[in-house]
Chain A
Amino acid sequence: MRVLIAEDDVVTNKLLNRLLTKFGYDCQCVFNGLEAWNAIQNEHFPVVVSDWMMPGIEGVELCRRLRELKDRPYSYVILLTSRDERDDRFQALRSGVDDVLAKPIDLEELECRMAVGTRIIKMEHHLKEQNLQLEESRAQLEHSNAVLLTKQQEVERLLAQAERTSEYAQEANRRFEQLFGEIPVAGFSCDESTKIFEWNKKAEEIFGVPADRAVEKPMRSVIGKKLLTRKALDAIHAVFQGVPFVDQEWKAGDRVLLVSGYPMVGYNNKISGCLATAVDISQLRKIEAELRTKMKELRAANSKIEEANRKLSEMAVTDGLTKIANRRALMDRLAICLEQAERGQRFTLAMIDVDHFKKFNDEFGHQAGDEILIAVAQTLKSSVRKLDFVARYGGEEFCVLFVNASLRSAVKMAERIRKRISEIQNPYRAITASFGLAEHPGLPIEGDQLVRAADDALYDAKAAGRNRVAVRSIEFEEAA
Chain B
Amino acid sequence: MNPSPLDLRYLKELTGSDERFLAELIEEFLVSANDLLDRMTALLAAEDWGELKLAAHALKGSSRSIGSSILGEIAFQIENESKRADKPGLKSLLSQAAAEYARIKTWWEGAAQSAA
Contact = CB atoms under 8 A, between A and B. Distances in A.
Nearest to B59: A9
A465 interface: no
A103 B60 CA distance: 10
B16 A22 contact: yes
Nearest to A12: B65
Interface stretch (A13-21, A60-68, A232-240): A13-21
Contacts of A11: 25, 28-29, 32, 62, 65-66
Interface in B8-53: 10, 13-16, 21, 24-25, 28-29, 32
Contacts, number: 56
Contacts of A15: 14-15, 25, 65
A281 interface: no
B38 to A, nearest CB: 16
A14 B54 CA distance: 20
Contact of B61 (A12, A19, A55, A107): A12
Nearest to B16: A22
Contact of A53 (B10, B28, B58, B65): B58
Contacts of B29: 10-11
A51 B62 CA distance: 12
Contacts of B67: 104
A33 B56 CA distance: 18
B65 A104 contact: yes
Interface string A72-116: 000000000010100000000000000000011101000000000
A14 B57 contact: no
Nearest to A22: B16
A103 B61 CA distance: 7
A59 to B, nearest CB: 12
Nearest to B60: A82
B58 A8 contact: yes
B105 interface: no
A21 to B, nearest CB: 11
Interface of A: 8-12, 14-15, 18-19, 22, 51, 53, 55, 82, 84, 103-105, 107
20 contacts: A9-B61, A10-B32, A10-B62, A11-B32, A12-B62, A12-B65, A14-B24, A14-B28, A15-B65, A19-B14, A53-B54, A82-B64, A82-B76, A84-B76, A103-B61, A104-B64, A104-B67, A104-B72, A107-B13, A107-B14
Interface of B: 10, 13-16, 21, 24-25, 28-29, 32, 54, 57-58, 60-62, 64-67, 72, 76
Given A10-B62, A53-B58, A82-B64, 11 more contacts: A9-B32, A9-B65, A10-B32, A11-B29, A12-B61, A12-B62, A14-B24, A15-B14, A15-B15, A107-B13, A107-B14
